[in-house]
Structure 1
Amino acid sequence: MISVFGSANMDLVAYVAKAPRLGETVTGHAFRTVPGGKGANQAVAAARAGARTVFLGAVGDDGFGAEIRATLAGAGVDVAGLRTVPGPSGIAHIVVDDDGGNSIVVVPGANGAMTGPSGADLAAIARSRALLLQLELPMPAVVAAAQAARVSRVPVILTPAPARPLPDELLEAVTLLVPNEHEAAGITGESDPEAALAALLERVPEAVITLGGEGALYGARTGERLHVPAEPVQAVDTTAAGDTFAGALAVARIEGLAPERALRFASVAAALSVRRPGASSSMPTRDEIDAALG
């Protein structure tokens, strides 16, 4: 079982030929509302990739909250740990251009109520084979969840996004850190991915730096280094790529796949996701991943 302690948002997605500059107004050609949030997205990705997945988070008592809950449940995610709190659900305003690039503004809403794991959350984490974390919840809550997993000897996989300073007490509990190249540079001060990887491994046992079209770079303190090329793909919407990669990678890890095979599994899942619009709605099933792997 994989537990995901994280955010749940409604994504408000506007599609444009070119993203507006500061002060500029542009006309879009489509608009969609899609349940998302980095935590919920990773939960859907893990569930669709074949793992029993429990989501621990919060939504508001509004229509968005009900839709987010239904979407998670429909994807096979256990939502018994999804709280409903008074007030609005979190939202993310996303602009996607015709090249598949995106910019995002997140308003946390109900996610701000996640000030720490509940007793039920702690019990779920202790039963898990991996805990997925991101940084869209209050930092004290993320640290508390990571520390609880460490006490229970549950591996912690952290996506350090949105980028912010990472306290030592969090990194001490992390098993595998999964930043993109920009986040890795921000954490380490190293713009070269190889140098950034070496610096990350001074703080965590394992790290994967995702490099977009250049694939992914893996390293472990044991000395192992791997570079897995990206799958060739014509991107429609890259919004879900990172979360799909993280969720699928967690599944590969608990299934005991060797690092190179696990990275390829996650890379294929991410490549499949960018071929379709939206976040949670774009994530591939296990059958789709296995067929693409061949």
Structure 2
Amino acid sequence: MPASVFLAGPASWNRMVLLDRLPEPVPHMQFAHASWETVGGTSAGKALSLTTLGRPVVLHGIAGEDEDGLRVREALQAAGVVAHWTDGITERHLNLMTPRGERVSLYLSTPAETTGEADGAHAAEMAGADAVVLDLAAEPRRLLPLAVASGTPLWVDVHDYDGVGEYHRPFLAAATAVFCNADRLDAPVEFLRAVVAEGAAFAVCTLGAEGAVAVGADGAEFRVPAVPTTVVDTNGAGDAFFAGVLDARLGGADLASALSAGARPAAGVLTTRHLHPLLDPILGDPRAA
């Protein structure tokens, strides 16, 4: 029987480096406050949070059987995430972070799209799911027509979209629900209204410490404050927020209530240096190293 959520996209092995400031584009030397390795990837983050919420989800990811790929697969399995893996290049990042949550992600290796051998099975799973989530990557982009044909509501997360980039346009055009953050948007609410006008049922923009704002199909604007918490690391918070909203909406919540449901797991993820607290007992606390 298909899971409630069909999720496809990145699951990576990341080297995290904590700096007092992001590097300037000139030759120089900086000292890191800390560094550690962990699971990354926006789809892995969503799968971890949905699993914690009790929402049946299957993560469809690409990872090799090399050392780093096995680390990703084994950590997510130990955390209880159900995943279907396709063998390929393991995605790897070097993430430069600051205590303020600023980030530069250097992609060291990235999987290509597959040949589509599993498309028949994917189509059946999508048609039987309550929601399809396709994250920004080559393989999910290839799956967009399959998702549209399934008739299942499609949720997308365009992250730090600037409002004009072409790569994101097919995701936006196909989506029922659109999520983004405000890092590169000068006018987030206007962007959300434009997305809804183009056919999305609703659109949401996260605002960091200021919470999130959403626009519904009728043009109504909703806001939710961030839940106060101790911020250790910001990676994965947006994915947890997305997962909380998705789970609440599938459970019948209205948009305002769903935003509040998303803020709670986002606050929980901010308390760990891993992608999700589920990984703490599996990968250990980097601060203790």
Q: 1:133 is matched with which residue?
A: 134
Q: 2:267 is matched with which residue?
A: 271
Q: 1:287 is matched with which residue?
A: none
How far apart, CA to CA, are the structure 1 residues paired with 2:55 and 2:134? 16
How has the CA–CA distance of structure 1 residues 121 and 233 changed in structure 2, closer, same or farther, with 3 Å as cutoff? same
Q: How does 1:1-294 map to 2 (within 5 A)?
A: 1-22=4-25, 23-79=27-83, 81-85=84-88, 88-109=89-110, 111-114=111-114, 118-135=119-136, 137-138=137-138, 141-161=139-159, 163=161, 164-166=165-167, 169-182=170-183, 185=185, 191-203=186-198, 204-281=200-277
TM-score (norm 2): 0.85
Listed one character per residue, the Cα deviations across residues 5-32 of structure 1 (whole Å, up to 9, x for unaligned) are 1011101111223333223321113221
SS at match of 2:50: helix
- Flag structure 1 segments of 5+ consecutive residues without an equivalent: 186-190, 285-294
TM-score (norm 1): 0.83
Contact between 1:55 and 1:77, CA under 8 Å: does it hold in 2?
yes
SS at match of 1:91: strand
How far apart, CA to CA, are the structure 2 residues paired with 1:100 and 1:232? 16
How far apart, CA to CA, are the structure 2 residues paired with 1:115 and 1:235? 41
Listed one character per residue, the Cα deviations across residues 37-65 of structure 1 (whole Å, up to 9, x for unaligned) are 11222111211122111011110120111
Deviation at residue 216 of structure 1 after TM alignment: 1.0
How far apart, CA to CA, are the structure 2 residues paired with 1:199 and 1:263? 20
Q: Which amino acid aligns with 2:95?
A: I
- Flag structure 2 segments of 5+ consecutive residues without an equivalent: 281-289
Contact between 1:133 and 1:142, CA under 8 Å: does it hold in 2?
yes
How has the CA–CA distance of structure 1 residues 283 and 193 changed in structure 2, closer, same or farther, with 3 Å as cutoff? farther
Contact between 2:12 and 2:41, CA under 8 Å: does it hold in 1?
yes
Listed one character per residue, the Cα deviations across residues 257-282 of structure 1 (whole Å, up to 9, x for unaligned) are 22111111111111121122122447
How far apart, CA to CA, are the structure 1 residues paired with 2:219 and 2:157? 22
Percent of paired sites with the same residue: 25
How far apart, CA to CA, are the structure 2 residues paired with 1:115 and 1:205? 32
Q: Which amino acid aligns with 1:156?
A: L
Q: Which amino acid aligns with 1:10?
A: W
